[in-house]
């Protein structure tokens, strides 16, 4: 009988324990202990157990079967897009990526950024403004913010290459998840000039928050030339 203690909510701890169990011991299709078994084992209520499993089910880690049990999901995530850096994304498409660093500065987090990056308002951030090119021609304009609390001295590094590579190698913080909003908008005169398109030309806008080990480490907004970029995705049921 284990104990769940600490500042973290019990359902989150239990969620982590179960995720760990799946990662280390159980294979796809195997059954996880029943909700009632888990509640006596961890001394929590069934509501707490269900709360933890809810989250894992939504993430596609577990799969409930009414009357039968809860199982490790068979196919890991059908509809996920890759969390790839610009460099990797371009390489995948057979294009040659390059980057022009337009600005790099230390700024203070406003409320929105603080919330997105889970830091205190006013906390130190690195703000990078970059022009991304493929085969030498502009592809995207990108503004990215990174929490310096978790990535000390980021501004002293070489920022013309892949920041993701830096996060992985230098900081041991591999991006492993995230969420992204996507919409389209017409190019403002300023963006049009930078991207070498006509003002008003459609741009694909990605606003992404990337996580590493559950903590936000990047918040970027990217404007892609719609005439040079498109994405493909797989769709899952329901």
Partner DNA sequence: CCACTTGAGTGGACCGTACCAGTTATCCTG
Partner DNA sequence: CAGGATAACTGGTACGGTCCACTCAAGTGG
How far apart are CB 224 and DNA at their closest, in Å? Answer: 31
Which part of the chain contacts a copy of itself (CB under 8 A), choosing from 1-9, 27-35, 134-142, 197-205?
Answer: 197-205
SS3 for 167?
helix
How far apart are CB 75 and DNA at their closest, in Å? Answer: 18
One of 21, 35, 157, 229 touching DNA (CB under 7 A): 35
β-strands 215-225, 31-32 pairing: unpaired
Residue 204 sits in the site that holds a copy of itself (CB under 8 A): yes
Which residues, listed in sequence order, are joined to residue 141 by a DSSP beta bridge?
131, 223
How far apart are CB 170 and a copy of itself at their closest, in Å? Answer: 18
SS3 for 131?
strand
In whole angstroms, give the CA distance from residue 33 to residue 73: 14
In whole angstroms, give the CA distance from residue 147 to residue 231: 28
Do 122 and 87 touch, CB atoms closer than 8 A?
A: no
Residue 115 sits in the site that holds a copy of itself (CB under 8 A): no
For helices 46-58 and 10-24, the axis angle rounded to 10 degrees is 50
204 contact, one of DNA, a copy of itself, none, CB 5-8 Å limit per kind:
a copy of itself
208 CB neighbour count, 10 Å cutoff: 18
Residue 232 sits in the site that holds a copy of itself (CB under 8 A): yes
Contact residues: DNA, CB under 7 A: 9-12, 32, 34-37, 39, 43-48, 50-51, 64-70
Contact residues: a copy of itself, CB under 8 A: 47, 58, 76-84, 88, 174-186, 200-204, 208, 210, 226, 229-238
């Amino acid at each position: 009988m284990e104990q769940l203690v600490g500042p973290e909510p019990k359902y989150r701890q239990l969620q982590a324990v179960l995720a760990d169990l799946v990662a280390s011991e159980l294979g796809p299709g195997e059954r996880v202990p029943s909700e009632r078994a888990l509640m006596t084992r961890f001394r929590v209520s069934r509501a707490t157990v269900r709360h933890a499993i809810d989250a894992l089910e939504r993430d596609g880690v577990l799969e409930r079967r009414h009357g039968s049990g809860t199982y490790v999901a068979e196919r890991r995530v059908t509809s996920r897009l890759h969390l790839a850096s610009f460099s990797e994304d371009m390489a995948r498409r057979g294009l040659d990526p390059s980057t022009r660093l337009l600005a790099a500065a230390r700024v203070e987090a406003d409320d929105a950024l603080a919330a997105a990056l889970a830091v205190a308002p006013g906390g130190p951030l690195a703000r990078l403004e970059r022009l991304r090119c493929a085969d030498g021609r502009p592809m995207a304009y990108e503004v990215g913010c990174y929490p310096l609390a978790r990535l000390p001295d980021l501004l002293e590094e070489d920022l013309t290459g892949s920041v993701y590579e830096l996060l992985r190698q230098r900081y041991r913080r591999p991006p492993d998840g995230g969420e992204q909003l996507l919409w389209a908008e017409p190019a403002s005169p300023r963006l049009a000039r930078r991207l070498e398109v006509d003002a008003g030309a459609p741009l694909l806008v990605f606003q992404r928050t990337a996580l590493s080990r559950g903590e936000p480490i990047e918040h970027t907004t990217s404007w892609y030339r719609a005439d040079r970029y498109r994405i493909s995705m797989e769709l899952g049921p329901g």
